[in-house]
Every structure is written in structure tokens, then in C-alpha cells.
Structure 1
């Protein structure tokens, strides 16, 4: 599908760009290829319905997530390798003097 000059101008306005003549033609060709590809994909056959049913059966076999009791903050921090003032301490990801002073 070839884009009209009006459609291409509208896209330029939406993107707030201004294309030179050569760029317009290149973009027109690229967009036409993308649109044609999408149209071909729309016509592609989808997965067999029996495969979709197998997926549904598998999902029914999985356990349901149920909310449970949480560990209290102090218990978790006691088990942490390193903590300070009620927070976990972890190795610095970015080395800098400023980061070291905060720990």
C-alpha cells in the first residue's frame, strides 16, 4: 500500500518533523513495507484450537496463589547478611565517594 502525500504530511505533523523530498520517498517505501507485512500477518493462520485447550488444561492444574502471613520486619532483618537502621545493606552498584558516605 502506497501512502498518499496527504497521509505522509499528516504523519510528519503528528511526529513534528519535516522530511526532505528524498527522505519522504524512503519513508513512504518503508512504511508501505510495514503495512503490507502487517496485512499478511493478519491473514496468517493461528494456532490450532486443540493447542489452546491444552494451555487451558495446564493452567487449571497450577495451584492458585493465596495470600498468607508475612514475616515481620525484625525477623527478616535478623536473617539478612547485613542491615542498618531497619534496612537491608547491599554492595554498591556504582562506586563513588558519595555512595559510601550514605552507608
Structure 2
């Protein structure tokens, strides 16, 4: 009886985790699809200046924009091979500076 109970709990937990994983992957997929790649020269001047001020040794690799005019900017930093992703909008500038 304990074996049946443990098996039942395991099945319910696994099914719940799969549903949660599916839900998260769909959300991520939808948010990624919202952004469309644009040329870096299309960034508003205020955002270009913010990037230049906050990341003096960074090079803009890619820029994406969504319908809300929010920008996803992929930077290459001199000191690391891992790209830095920042988000911005024209009203508030860079949004996730650490």
C-alpha cells in the first residue's frame, strides 16, 4: 500500500512539473518572439548615450525592439566572452543595470 501511495504521489508531482515546465517554455517563447532585430543605428540617441556611459568598453552586437518600443541590447564586453544583455526604453533608458 505504501508503494502504491508513493507511486501515486510521484506521478502527480511529475505531471505537475511537466505542466509547469511547458507553461514556462511557452512564456519564454512568446516573449522572445515579441522582439524583432533592428540595426544598432536605429537605437534612440538617449539609449545610445546610456550604453556609452554605463558600458564604456562595450560593443553593441545586436539590437531588438518590440511593439512597446522596449529594446533588448546584446553587448560584447572587453573583459569577458559572455555577452551582456540589457533592456531599455526611450523614456527611462537602461532598465536592468547591475
Question: Normalised by the shorter chain, which TM-score bucket?
Answer: 0.3 to 0.5
**Structure possessing the higher relative contact order (Cα contacts under 8 Å, 6 or more residues apart):** 2
Q: Per residue, is there more helix in 1 or in 2?
A: 1
Larger Rg, first or second structure (1 or 2): 1
Q: Per residue, is there more strand in 1 or in 2?
A: 2
